[in-house]
């Protein structure tokens, strides 16, 4: 008789523990902890660039990049490709150590709703004041759509 009671207590104890774990996981799921877009947050990330990414905003048809010149000389940005699509950009010159905001239009759609995660390759074509033309700087930008 004692064996049956201890077995039942053992199973009930583990049952309550299992129920508590399921409840905690359910609350975390409801709060969006397991949603990849909440793991990305609102910060941006750029891998592979020699330019310094200071900020970005990606909307339905426009990408805005704030970049800093880390080349050590004047650069003239002539073109930007977003996800292998040539975007429309006014040529922009950036002094060494300075920054500029690039607004690229006619880019692939980020999606109709904001908050969606994105990871896109971006290629910046520029020339330096030293006369080197058509230099390319490429990397991947990640974040959430706005």
Q: Are residues 61 and 118 in the same domain?
A: yes
CATH at residue 132: 2.60.40.10
Q: Are residues 8 and 55 in the same domain?
A: no
Instruction: Note whether 134 and 77 are within 8 A (CB).
Output: no
Q: Are residues 103 and 138 in the same domain?
A: yes
% of the chain beyond a pLDDT of 90? 11
pLDDT (0 to 100) of residue 23: 96
Q: Which has the closest alpha carbon to 120: 65, 69, 70, 67?
A: 65
Q: Are residues 59 and 121 in the same domain?
A: yes
Q: Are residues 46 and 27 in the same domain?
A: no
Residue 42 pLDDT class (50, 70, 90 cuts): very low
Residue 117 pLDDT class (50, 70, 90 cuts): confident
Q: Into how many domains does the chain fold? A: 2
User: What residue numbers bound the domain in which 22 lies?
Assistant: 2-34
Q: Are residues 75 and 128 in the same domain?
A: yes
Q: Are residues 24 and 95 in the same domain?
A: no
Q: Are residues 127 and 110 in the same domain?
A: yes
CA distance to 88, 117, 146, per residue, from 48 (Å)? 22, 19, 23
Instruction: Give the sign of the dihedral formed by CA 12, CA 15, CA 21, CA 26.
Output: negative
Q: Are residues 131 and 76 in the same domain?
A: yes
Q: Are residues 98 and 129 in the same domain?
A: yes
For residue range 64-77, what is the model confidence (pLDDT) as tens digits?
A: 888 888 878 888 88
pLDDT at 82 exceeding the cut of 50: yes
pLDDT (0 to 100) of residue 25: 93
Name the more confident of 118 and 93.
93
Q: Are residues 9 and 79 in the same domain?
A: no
Q: Are residues 64 and 100 in the same domain?
A: yes
């Amino acid at each position: 008789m004692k064996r049956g009671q201890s077995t039942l207590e053992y199973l009930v104890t583990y049952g309550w523990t299992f129920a508590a774990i399921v409840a905690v996981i359910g609350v975390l799921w409801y709060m969006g902890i397991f949603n990849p877009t909440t793991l990305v947050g609102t910060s941006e990330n750029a891998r592979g660039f020699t330019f310094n990414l200071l900020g970005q905003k990606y909307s339905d048809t426009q990408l805005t990049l704030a970049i800093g010149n880390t080349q050590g000389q004047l650069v003239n940005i002539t073109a930007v490709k977003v996800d292998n699509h040539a975007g429309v950009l006014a040529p922009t010159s950036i002094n060494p150590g300075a920054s500029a905001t690039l607004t690229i239009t006619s880019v692939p759609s980020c999606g109709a709703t904001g908050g969606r995660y994105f990871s896109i390759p971006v290629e910046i074509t520029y020339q330096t004041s030293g006369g080197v033309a058509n230099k390319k700087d490429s990397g991947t930008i990640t974040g959430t759509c706005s």
